[in-house]
Every structure is written in C-alpha cells, then in structure tokens.
Amino acid sequence: MDFKRVYQFRVDLKDVRPPVWRRIQVPESYTFWDLHVAIQDAMGWMDCHFHEFEVYDPSARHDVRIGIPDESGLSAYEVISGRERKIADLFNANNNRARYTYDFGDDWLHTVVLEKIIPREKGVQYPVCIKGKRACPPEDCGGVYGYEEFLEIIGDPDNEEHEEMLDWVGGEFDPEDFNIRDVRFRDPDKYFKEPFRFG
C-alpha cells in the first residue's frame, strides 16, 4: 500500500459510562469501508450488522451518509458506498468529525474525530491501535440501556439471570478489560469479498 501520511482518529462510543474509546492510525489512502473495518477491529465489534458514517461534505455543503447502499431503492435517503469515498476526500483539519453508527437495532453511536495527520513511520504496520480504554459491549445486548442492565445483572451474583447472562456472553465479561495487544486488523479488501453476515 503506497501512502506517505497517516490519519490518527479517536473513536468514542457515545453515552456509555465509563467511556469506551480507541485511538487508531490508518493510511491516508483508506476508503470509508477500510476505516469501518479498522473501527470494528479496534473496538472489538463482530461486524454482523449494518453501519453508516455521517460526515459533512464541503463540496456538497451538507452531511452525507456513507456505508452500504440500499440496492432495493426503498431507502428514505441516499447512502454512498464506503468503497467509493476516501477518507482524505472529507476529513481535514477543518472538517475533522464524523458520526459512525453500528447496528441500527442496538444503535451504537460513535464519535470519530480526526486528531492529526502525521508522516508515515517507517517499520510500522498500519492500521494500528495505539491506545484505548475498556471492553466493547457484547453484540446484541440491547444498546446503551441493555448494556447497563447487562452489567447490573452480571455484577450481582444473586440476580436470577446472573448465570444465564454469563453463559450468553461466553462465561465471563470484564467491562474494564482492554488489551491493545489483542487487537488484530483484517485486510479490508479481502474482508469485503467474504460473504456478509448482517442481521
């Protein structure tokens, strides 16, 4: 991949307390699809639901939605393919924010902020996650309020749903746990060719 600069983003999961966030660096040549895959991998999501970016487009003078277009033509608004737009087309020092929504049922909202654009560092394999805090909520837990309820249940061994909820999540869940060494980034081009698993 040929690029000279790197875009550093901070990604915050909105309305979750204490905060869940990641700081990632990605090539300037990335598309919004590529950025989506990097966010999924850094956060710990499984990418089994639809997603969408909402970002201001200075040339159009309004916000645009970028993700996977609805091929049925029934959508109430236009969604631009994330494979067709590069992050460098829209993100810059003056236009440094986007909203990223994952899973339109649970409605996980993320704030994506371009913190800086820096020279590519020799020997670094991009994308890379350089910092973060706390575990990503489990998939399909019901959004922000469902996650709060989930944490209450697993934090209370006397709750009648305690064991059932731990079984559902795979035996254990520590909301404070995030190990940067566990982050593995997929190749977005190869991943795009895999069958989608949306629900």
Say which amino acid occupies 40. Answer: Q
Q: Are 24 and 81 in contact (CB under 8 A)?
A: no
pLDDT at position 2 is: 86
Q: What is the pLDDT of residues 172-187, one digit of tens each?
A: 999 999 999 999 999 9
pLDDT at position 196 is: 59
Residues 76-93, mean pLDDT to the nearest whole number: 93
Question: What single-letter DSSP state applies at residue 42?
Answer: H
Measured between alpha carbons, how far is 39 from 162 in angstroms, rounded to an integer? 30
Q: Is residue 159 scored above 80 in pLDDT? A: yes
Of the CA atoms within 13 Å of residue 55, those in its CB half-sphere come to 29
Q: Tell me the domains of the chain and their CATH numbers.
A: 5-134+179-192 (3.10.290.30), 136-177 (no CATH)
Q: 190 versus 71: which is more confidently predicted? A: 190
Residues 192-197, mean pLDDT to the nearest whole number: 70
Please tell me the pTM assigned to this model. Answer: 0.93
How, if at all, do strands 128-133 and 5-13 pair?
A: unpaired
Measured between alpha carbons, how far is 35 from 37 in angstroms, rounded to an integer? 5
Say which amino acid occupies 48. Answer: C
HEC profile for 74-99? CCCCCCEECCCCEHHHHCCCCCCEEE
Residues 72-94, mean pLDDT to the nearest whole number: 88
Q: Who's near 79: CB < 8 A, 6+ residues apart? A: 52, 65, 66, 67, 68, 69, 70
Q: Are 129 and 23 in contact (CB under 8 A)?
A: yes
Measured between alpha carbons, how far is 60 from 108 in angstroms, rounded to an integer? 27
27 CB-contact burial (10 Å; exposed 0-12 / middle 13-18 / buried 19+): buried
Which residue in 137, 129, 130 sits closest to 15, CA to CA? 137
